Chains A and B, each alone.
Chain A
Amino acid sequence: MTVLGALIPISVALGAFGLAAFVWCIRSGQFDDLEGDQHRALFDEDESGTR
């Protein structure tokens, strides 16, 4: 059972990493225009502007 001593921190750390990534996504505005982005995925040419 001592293996849990390692596994629990690892799983929490992985979760925290995911959360941090999510926070970064929100901060950088990737969730600000869900409606626009769902269409943007279908555009053929390169994006006309970088953000």
Chain B
Amino acid sequence: MPLDARHSHDTVELLVPGLTCAACMRKVEARLSTVAGVSSARVNLTNRRVAIRFDQVRTEPEALIDELDRLGYPARPLSQTDTDDPMVRESRALLLRVGVSGFAAMNVMLLSIGVWSGADAAMRDLLHWVSALIALPAMAYAGTPFFTSAWNALRAGSLNMDVPISLAILLSAGNSVLETAMSGQHAYFDAGIMLIFFLLVGRYIEQLTRARARSSASELLAMTGRTTARVLPDGTREKIATADLEPGMQVAIAPGERIPADGRILVGASDLDRSLITGESLPVRAQHGTEVNAGTLNLSSEIIVEVTRAGDDSLLAEIAGLVGAAERGRSRHDQLAERAAKLYAPSVHILAALAFAGWLWATGDGRLSTQIAVAVLIITCPCALALAVPTVHTVATSRLFRGGIFLKDGGALERLCEVDTVVFDKTGTLTDGRPRLIDPLPDAHPAWPLIAALSRASRHPYATALNEAARARKIVPAEIEDMSEVPGQGVEARVNGVRVRLGRPGWVGTASAQVALSLPDSDVVHAFSFAQSLRPDAEAVCERLRRQGYDLYMLSGDHPDAVAEIATATGIADARSGLTPQDKHAVLKVLRDDRRKVLMVGDGLNDSPALAAAHVSMSPGSAADTTQSVSDIVFTGESLQPVLTALDVAATATRRARESIGIATLYNVIAVPVAVAGLVTPLVAALAMSGSSIVVTLNALRQRTPS
């Protein structure tokens, strides 16, 4: 959105998924504001975006993205549709309604105090008219969401919570105007507007909890990057938008880039990291003729790929489709509050109608009967009920937040509480996804400087592990020349003219272990072995879960050997290996048909269909952004403890929510007979309504004290 063309200033909004804390916010803002041409940078921590105002002449969005990349915060620009975030607009509109109804409620209450403290007839009428003047427009504006929703429900031939709410608002407003016009004693303007205010507060709280949840399918497709180098038939290259790729085109993929579409390798050979798609932790060798999928990371050297399926046909798009379908399926889950509402709405209407009929029959006074029916509707209006669940969820969310656990959907708490089966992914979830050197050389060994120098050159996970080991020992890399990486084999270089190799044992000249190093001055070859490192408390957490009666499963796309090793370590009896994303999704479906409520914990993109299909899902913060957006819960840190914490908090929260609904019901049991008996004056209605709302809120806050 261009702001000021004269100074060529522009504003760009970038999505930065890594923005999770105050420190990130500060770092990103501070760094961006040092870039020449940037006049301001402001982070929005809620939706993980940064808005940057910059001078078009002196810098460009691409440069800003690179700058953020270097800082360790990968960013991507938002498309025009993303920028116009409906969430922000909705949230603002809702807050505005809260404000308007709050303003009206306060003023009308103030006027009502005048009425209650015994104003004479003329003064009472004046106060009633002023109240009407404030309350009616406010009700019309602030009550719109309820009216629309009730109208939609009625048109569809069903009842929801908003039907009795709308009816109570409309009837109380209509009745009060009538009473005021006839110079009557009781007007319910205050009760009606307060009702709206409390209900809106409940909705706004819910909205805040949901603010982090985002549409996942579109983010999934963004994984492939925005532009690609297309190779034209004459060998020249041009930049092309990923969206414009078509089957038959040839694209060049540099090391470190993701493959933008499904295809076949034409030229070159390389190692591919397919963990995003398959969950395999180790790179696979790919050469001429190998089929590759979109989203695969190219590790070692440039390849040229002929596109076979692009865009909506690619495997990545297929996964996105699966995720979308599974998520839609889950949103049909009946939540506690909805179940309560289904019982509640019809019984309230019947009660009010009965009260009206009964009084009409007994007294023959239509005006009095209407008044009593309205009083019943107002007093039974589900204020406390509407606040009960959102307040409990908000408190639970903040409890989890302090434990480094981010809850995206309050409904997940209720679902979490029903879980009886926990399914883990292996790579990145039970393990931390990085191989660990298990038999290092002695610290003073002369080969270390060489290892440090050679391992720097490769992106292979083994090389990274070796390099980390060298850095941990503060080794100064040796001087080497002519270094080159041989795809699929290893790294080669010369030391004083003698060749050294670090890589695949067969290539280096030995048959054992996983990586070998040849030395320049002897025939000795050093061999290194690696193991997957479990998260520090993975065993303990699995053990606790088992003792609490959960069934544990492990689903992995990895090799059977690697899976068996972890299964033994964690004691998970049912471990399956070699699964594709579709397979995992299918297993989850079988479990669901078995009437099991599954908590799926996974981190890879290959887990996302399964995560979306599970009853509840959790992802570690190290997971792909897309995977995080599919999950209900994201946890940070090295530990798996959050799985236990979340289950525990969910149990407490659901207990509190049930209690709150119980309190709200109890309040009705007491208040309804009073209303039916015709004893509810506007004062009583106002006090009862505020009272029950406050009690329910206090009950939600009880979660804070550790049980």
Q: What residues of chain A have their CB less than 8 Å away from a CB belonging to chain B?
A: 1, 4, 8, 11-12, 15-16, 18-19, 22-23, 26-27, 31-36, 39-40, 42-43, 48-51
* A22→B97 CA distance, assembly (Å): 11
Residue of A1, A23, A33, A49 near B99 (CB, 8 A) is A23
Is B33's CB under 8 angstroms from A49's CB? yes
* A35→B40 CA distance, assembly (Å): 20
* A27→B30 CA distance, assembly (Å): 26
Tell whether A19 pairs with B42 under 8 Å between CB atoms, given A26-B92, A32-B88, A43-B26: no
Is B42's CB under 8 angstroms from A26's CB? no
Is A49's CB under 8 angstroms from B107's CB? no
Residue of B33, B45, B47, B100 near A48 (CB, 8 A) is B33
Tell whether A36 pairs with B46 under 8 Å between CB atoms, given A1-B123, A26-B92, A48-B29: yes
Residue of A4, A11, A32 near B92 (CB, 8 A) is A32
Tell whether A15 pairs with B103 under 8 Å between CB atoms, given A34-B46, A36-B45, A36-B46: yes
Contacting residues, chain A, for B33 (C-beta < 8 A): 48-49
B95 CB within 8 Å of chain A = yes
Is A51's CB under 8 angstroms from B42's CB? yes
B110 CB within 8 Å of chain A = yes
Is A19's CB under 8 angstroms from B103's CB? yes
- Give the residues from 155 to 199 in chain B that come closer than 8 angstroms, CB to CB, to chain A: none
B22 CB within 8 Å of chain A = yes
A/B interface sample: 15 pairs, CB < 8 A: A1-B123, A12-B107, A19-B100, A19-B103, A26-B92, A33-B45, A33-B46, A34-B46, A35-B46, A36-B22, A36-B44, A40-B25, A48-B40, A49-B41, A50-B40
B111 CB within 8 Å of chain A = yes
Question: Chain B 110-153, CB within 8 Å of chain A: the 1/0 string?
Answer: 11001000000001001000100010000000000000000000
B697 to chain A, nearest CB (A): 19
* A11→B678 CA distance, assembly (Å): 33
Is A15's CB under 8 angstroms from B107's CB? yes
* A45→B611 CA distance, assembly (Å): 42
B538 CB within 8 Å of chain A = no
Is A16's CB under 8 angstroms from B103's CB? yes
Residue of A1, A27, A31, A36 near B25 (CB, 8 A) is A36
Is A39's CB under 8 angstroms from B22's CB? yes
Closest to A21 in B: B99
Is A31's CB under 8 angstroms from B92's CB? yes
Tell whether A15 pairs with B106 under 8 Å between CB atoms, given A49-B33, A51-B40: yes
B531 CB within 8 Å of chain A = no
Residue of B29, B106, B134 near A49 (CB, 8 A) is B29
Is A26's CB under 8 angstroms from B95's CB? yes
* A48→B38 CA distance, assembly (Å): 11
Shortest 8 CB-CB contacts between residues of A and residues of B? A36-B45, A49-B40, A39-B22, A48-B29, A33-B44, A19-B103, A22-B99, A48-B33
Contacting residues, chain A, for B26 (C-beta < 8 A): 43, 48
Contacting residues, chain A, for B25 (C-beta < 8 A): 36, 39-40
Q: What residues of chain B have their CB less than 8 Å away from a CB belonging to chain A?
A: 21-22, 25-26, 29-30, 32-33, 39-47, 53, 88, 91-92, 95-96, 99-100, 103, 106-107, 110-111, 114, 123, 126, 130, 134, 208
* A1→B119 CA distance, assembly (Å): 10
Residue of A11, A19, A22, A32 near B44 (CB, 8 A) is A32
Contacting residues, chain B, for A12 (C-beta < 8 A): 107, 130, 134
Contacting residues, chain A, for B208 (C-beta < 8 A): 34
Chain B residues touching A, majority SS: helix
A39 to chain B, nearest CB (A): 3
Contacting residues, chain A, for B114 (C-beta < 8 A): 4
Tell whether A11 pairs with B107 under 8 Å between CB atoms, given A48-B41, A49-B41: yes
Is B42's CB under 8 angstroms from A49's CB? yes
* A16→B114 CA distance, assembly (Å): 20
Is A19's CB under 8 angstroms from B46's CB? no
Contacting residues, chain A, for B111 (C-beta < 8 A): 8
Contacting residues, chain B, for A31 (C-beta < 8 A): 91-92, 95
Contacting residues, chain A, for B47 (C-beta < 8 A): 33
* A49→B107 CA distance, assembly (Å): 39
Contacting residues, chain B, for A4 (C-beta < 8 A): 114, 123, 126
Contacting residues, chain A, for B95 (C-beta < 8 A): 26, 31
Is A48's CB under 8 angstroms from B110's CB? no
9 further A-B pairs in the complex, CB-CB below 8 A; given A31-B95, A33-B44, A42-B22: A11-B110, A26-B96, A32-B88, A32-B92, A35-B46, A36-B43, A39-B22, A40-B22, A43-B26
* A5→B22 CA distance, assembly (Å): 51
B621 to chain A, nearest CB (A): 16
Closest to B43 in A: A36
* A12→B103 CA distance, assembly (Å): 9
Interface-centre pick from A8, A11, A33, A43 (highest chain B CB count, 10 A): A33
Closest to B111 in A: A8
Contacting residues, chain B, for A18 (C-beta < 8 A): 103
A46 to chain B, nearest CB (A): 11
A45 to chain B, nearest CB (A): 9
Contacting residues, chain B, for A16 (C-beta < 8 A): 103
* A43→B25 CA distance, assembly (Å): 11
Closest to B25 in A: A36
Contacting residues, chain A, for B39 (C-beta < 8 A): 49
B234 to chain A, nearest CB (A): 47
* A46→B687 CA distance, assembly (Å): 47
* A1→B30 CA distance, assembly (Å): 60
Contacting residues, chain B, for A43 (C-beta < 8 A): 22, 26
B90 to chain A, nearest CB (A): 12
Is A23's CB under 8 angstroms from B96's CB? yes
Contacting residues, chain B, for A36 (C-beta < 8 A): 22, 25, 43-46
B74 to chain A, nearest CB (A): 19
Is A26's CB under 8 angstroms from B134's CB? no
Is B43's CB under 8 angstroms from A26's CB? no
Contacting residues, chain A, for B96 (C-beta < 8 A): 23, 26
* A49→B43 CA distance, assembly (Å): 10
A34 to chain B, nearest CB (A): 7
* A32→B85 CA distance, assembly (Å): 11
* A48→B35 CA distance, assembly (Å): 12
* A15→B26 CA distance, assembly (Å): 37
Closest to A17 in B: B103
Contacting residues, chain A, for B88 (C-beta < 8 A): 32
Contacting residues, chain B, for A50 (C-beta < 8 A): 40
B402 to chain A, nearest CB (A): 13
Contacting residues, chain A, for B92 (C-beta < 8 A): 26-27, 31-32
A44 to chain B, nearest CB (A): 10
Closest to B110 in A: A11
B353 to chain A, nearest CB (A): 37
Contacting residues, chain B, for A34 (C-beta < 8 A): 46, 208
Contacting residues, chain A, for B42 (C-beta < 8 A): 49, 51
Contacting residues, chain B, for A39 (C-beta < 8 A): 21-22, 25, 45
